[in-house]
Amino acid sequence: MAVDAEIVFPVIEFHSSDLERGTEGWNRLCKRVREACETFGCFEVVYEKISKNVREDVFGLLKELFDVPVERKQKNTSPIPFHGWVGPCKEISLLYEGFGLGDASNYDSIKSFAQVMWPDGHPHFCYELGNRSLDMNYKTLMRMMKYIPPQQGEYESGLFAHTDKPLSTLICEHQIPGLEIEVNDGQWIKLFNLSPSSFVFVVGDTLKAWSNGRLKAVTHRVMMNEGKDRYSMSAFAVPNENTIIKAPKELIDEQHPQLYKDFDFKDYLLFVYSDPKKRINSGQQIDAFAALSPPASN
């Protein structure tokens, strides 16, 4: 993958032979993943098992989804902000539209979603999304997103800079680049020329807290300047109900004192979304909520 200026973004290939715990290949893979998450908070995952044809089928169905009438889209609701359908708006972006599927590893949830979007259901959508794109084996929140291009010659935000709140995110984009990550304070690099068999893994705030700050929750955004619509999917690993986020004792010692209090993930979400007028930078929200000492001021 090409990136800006001399920064070498980590690309990690996942092979079936390296996914057996305890093997030499597994240990090498774990080391590379840990180093990437400590340094960048994200990396490119190359996984040949999910073919280009499968991805094309899935994104073809996503295009059908965004063509359904607005009155059906509005039925994709959730009590949690940004977990249901979000149309273009000034608060997020006039270029952005997204759906939410709260339990995308559950076939019945996918079927119910399809029946709301299409009156007669959509068996092909259910099959492809349930049996193909979710080979990741997570119980996930899935967001399916579309970004329309800005006016010719413009370079505009498709999604504001933020850190993700769950444990982690796996992002899959289709053809049109736009994802950018912050590698240093104010220095952004654009990820482009992603392999047709790749995803981008992103560390979230909750995994940062669980790791006692050793893993980096990367700030990222979407910027648009292309002349075509951009489609992407994100699979968020969300802790189960009543999960307490607590750093393992192995990650706490004299050189690495405990940085975050133990907390319920749901309480963190309520904190983040309770008052949209709070002027807390997204990358500082986990510190404002759970840090055992006051966060450093900018």
The Cα–Cα gap between 182 and 153 comes to 24
Q: Helices (H) and strands (E) in the chain — how many of each? A: 8, 13
CATH code for residues 33-290:
2.60.120.330
Q: What angle do CA 186, 142, 122 make, to 5 degrees?
A: 140
Q: What angle do CA 87, 134, 51 make, to 5 degrees?
A: 105
Give the tokens for residue 233.
Answer: 């999917």
Full DSSP string of 95-149: TEEEEEETTTT-HHHHHHHHHHHSTT--HHHHHHHHHTTTTT---EEEEEEEE--
Lowest mean pLDDT among 46-50, 197-201, 235-239: 46-50
pLDDT score for 62: 94
Q: What is the percent of the chain with per-residue pLDDT over 70, rounded to a whole number?
A: 91
**What integer best gives the mean pLDDT of the chain?**
88
Which residues in 199-224 are b (16+ Cβ under 10 Å) and which e?
bbbbbbbbbbbbbbbebbbbbbbbbb
- The pTM (predicted TM-score) of the whole model is 0.90
Banded pLDDT at 298 (limits 50, 70, 90): very low
Where exactly are the structural domains of the chain? 33-290
**pLDDT at residue 2 tops 70:** no
Instruction: Give whole-number Cα distances, 77 to 80, 109, 267, in Å.
Output: 9, 13, 20
End-to-end CA distance of the chain: 32
Banded pLDDT at 133 (limits 50, 70, 90): very low
The Cα–Cα gap between 9 and 3 comes to 7
Secondary-structure breakdown of the chain: helix, strand, coil percentages, each rounded to the nearest 5: 30, 25, 45
Banded pLDDT at 294 (limits 50, 70, 90): low
Q: Yes or no: say if 87 and 70 are a contact pair by the CB < 8 Å rule.
A: yes
Q: Yes or no: say if 4 and 182 are a contact pair by the CB < 8 Å rule.
A: no
